Amino acid sequence: KNQVEQSPQSLIILEGKNCTLQCNYTVSPFSNLRWYKQDTGRGPVSLTIMTFSENTKSNGRYTATLDADTKQSSLHITASQLSDSASYICVVRGDTDKLIFGTGTRLQVFP
Amino acid sequence: AAGVIQSPRHLIKEKRETATLKCYPIPRHDTVYWYQQGPGQDPQFLISFYEKMQSDKGSIPDRFSAQQFSDYHSELNMSSLELGDSALYFCASSWDRGLGNTIYFGEGSWLTVV
């Protein structure tokens, strides 16, 4: 069982709409949680990084939340743009250098 | 701003050959990570280096070796290549083992083994 599960697996929205992506993890011990955006065949691009004590962090139209008690995180995208079409990956770091990647959510934004 | 530079971007090798991938981290970053991403799969952690010493080791085959040099660039050497080694290899870098810091990924090196 993957230690980082994301939902939905895929999502289609219209340009200008908001959406929220979910991430549940079981990684323990927990160091931090990151959200990355990855275009097909390209390197992941960091959106946010949150540690145990942080509940919310924003980066432009991206807002991430973290509930370390329930081991859940969400990524909210506001006023979506066509360029937001990509895979969004929740990545959790434990007590080693290894990043544990989630299953990803494939987002498609249509005009 | 400078990013993580990987070379070559594309590489085609035959089975049992050897390949070397290079990674140049963002200036002043002291930590380098290597990941392997097969088609439709999540990136798998291979190995990491901090201050030129191996920091952590993941699912790196014995046929692979890597090192970080004095200028902090890193090389991943892959020998006796197998068809299953065909994948996108990412290098990433960060400051101070990425503890609380952003880890930046390169664009990846596509390895195709035929």
Kindly state the tokens that stand for A57. Answer: 């962090």
Percent of chain A with pLDDT over 90: 80
Q: Does B98 touch chain A (CB under 8 A)?
A: yes
Interface residue of B24, B44, B90, B103 to substitute, partner A, most A CBs within 10 Å = B103
Q: What is the structure's pLDDT at A28?
A: 87
Kindly state the tokens that stand for B102. Answer: 């952003």
Kindly state the tokens that stand for B109. Answer: 């090196």
With tokens 């799969």, the residue in question is B41
For the cut 90, the answer to whether the pLDDT of residue A87 exceeds it is: yes
Check: CB of residue A33 under 8 Å from CB of residue A73.
yes
Q: What is the structure's pLDDT at A2?
A: 66
Q: Does A71 touch chain B (CB under 8 A)?
A: no
Kindly state the tokens that stand for B57. Answer: 């080791």
Q: What is the structure's pLDDT at A41?
A: 82
Whether B103 sits inside 8 A of A96 (CB atoms) is no
Q: Kindly report the number of other CB atoms within 10 A of residue B94's CB atom.
A: 24
Q: What is the structure's pLDDT at B1?
A: 65
